[in-house]
Amino acid sequence: MNYVWSFLLGGIICAISQIFMDKFKILPAYILVFMVSFGNILALFPGYDFLVKNATGGACIPILGFGYSLGKSVIEKVNELGFLGIITGGLMGVSAGITFAIFISFIFSFIFTSKTKSLK
Q: How many CB atoms lie within 10 A of CB 7?
A: 13
In tens, the pLDDT along 66-111 reads 999 999 999 999 999 999 999 899 888 889 888 998 999 999 999 9
**N- to C-terminal Cα distance for the chain?**
49
Q: Provide the whole-model pTM.
A: 0.79
As a whole number of angstroms, the distance between CA 38 and CA 63 comes to: 10
